[in-house]
């Protein structure tokens, strides 16, 4: 599979991962000391939504556009909407920023960022979207994960958002992540994974659960095919993050009730055990 995120930008999985990413970076910024941010699979950084074909409907229609049209009351959701709005000054939702641009906007003057993209053409686009921002690397994300950690700052966040287009992606993740956590034990690590096949995802989670201090956050829908759930593995969740995310869950699930159906947020915090399996309504579902 040749994955191209242009067609998935702003979907409900992006909403899931970017809300948590923003919450983590804001939490790190509560302390005055600088932090380091590493994005191992950065992509192009910005996606043109108005250039997508109308048929079938673009995925952002049932994703970020729901928040765009709403006036969310939760401050974290409102912050997320405001960050995306900075790329849409006309008031129409025509662009969606990926994690590199969101992180850049949340970074303070002393914070340091590194963005890794292995595909040369996408790396060129990423540089263009980031402007003169230093720290853009054209190299393998897993190689960079080990080469760029631990950072001199001693604190920070590593975000791994692989495309899962390779048959060996899970194996590479399972091999590299524990090594990186051992090299940077005080770091926060956030990893996205898809719910397409329940057996595959549950197996990945069981193997990652061996990492000390890991949590799992799953946002599951009742869909029967395609990407029916979004998952995040979080190592070293900062204090206060579970409560912060719990506060926004009711508003977020209510907003997405119509486009996605009844969704579930299922979180297993810090136990290191993969108990966050689908609830009764979704258990055993096999996408067609």
The C-alpha atoms of residue 60 and residue 138 are separated, in whole angstroms, by: 28
Determine what percent of the chain is predicted with pLDDT higher than 70. 91
Q: Which domains does the chain have, with CATH numbers?
A: 5-268 (3.40.50.150)
What's the rounded Cα separation, in Å, for the pair 42 and 188? 17
- Selection from 47, 65, 7 nearest residue 260 by Cα: 65
pTM of the model: 0.91
pLDDT in tens, the chain (288 residues): 445 676 789 999 999 999 999 999 999 999 999 999 999 999 999 999 988 877 677 899 999 999 999 989 999 999 999 999 999 999 999 999 999 999 999 999 999 999 999 999 999 999 999 987 779 999 999 999 999 999 999 999 999 999 998 899 999 999 999 999 999 999 999 999 999 999 999 999 999 999 999 999 999 999 878 999 999 999 999 999 999 999 999 999 999 998 999 999 999 998 433 333 333 333 333 332
Phi, psi of 138 (to 5 degrees): -105, 95
d(CA 140, CA 11): 25
Residues 8-38 pLDDT 10s: 899 999 999 999 999 999 999 999 999 999 9
Average pLDDT, the chain: 90
Instruction: Give how far Cα 99 sits from Cα of 25, 210, 278, Å.
Output: 11, 27, 27
Q: Which residues neighbour 148 within 8 Å (Cβ) at sequence distance 6 or greater?
A: 38, 114, 116
């Amino acid at each position: 599979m040749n994955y191209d995120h242009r067609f998935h930008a702003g979907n409900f999985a992006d909403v899931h991962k970017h809300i948590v990413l923003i919450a983590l970076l804001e939490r790190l910024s509560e302390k005055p000391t600088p932090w380091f941010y590493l994005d191992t699979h950065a992509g192009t950084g910005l996606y043109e939504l108005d250039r997508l074909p109308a048929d079938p409907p673009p995925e952002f229609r049932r994703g970020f556009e729901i928040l765009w049209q709403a006036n969310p009351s939760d401050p974290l959701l409102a912050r997320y909407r405001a960050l995306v709005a900075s790329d849409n000054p006309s008031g129409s939702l025509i662009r969606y920023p990926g994690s590199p641009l969101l992180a850049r906007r949340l970074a303070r003057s002393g914070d340091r960022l590194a963005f890794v993209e292995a595909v040369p053409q996408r790396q060129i686009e990423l540089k263009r979207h980031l402007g003169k921002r230093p720290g853009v690397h054209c190299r393998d994300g897993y190689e960079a994960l080990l080469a760029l950690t631990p950072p001199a700052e001693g604190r920070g966040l590593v975000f791994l958002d692989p495309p899962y287009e390779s048959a060996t992606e899970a194996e590479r993740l399972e091999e590299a992540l524990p090594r990186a956590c051992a090299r940077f034990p005080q770091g926060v690590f956030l990893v996205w994974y898809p719910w397409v096949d329940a057996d595959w995802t549950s197996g990945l989670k069981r193997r990652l659960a061996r990492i000390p201090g890991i949590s799992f956050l799953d946002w599951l829908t009742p869909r029967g095919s395609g990407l029916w759930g979004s998952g995040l593995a979080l190592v070293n969740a900062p204090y206060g993050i579970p409560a912060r995310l719990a506060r926004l869950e009711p508003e977020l699930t209510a907003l997405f009730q119509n486009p996605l159906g009844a969704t579930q947020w299922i979180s297993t915090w810090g136990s290191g055990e993969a108990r966050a399996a689908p609830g009764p309504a979704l258990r055993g579902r096999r996408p067609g």
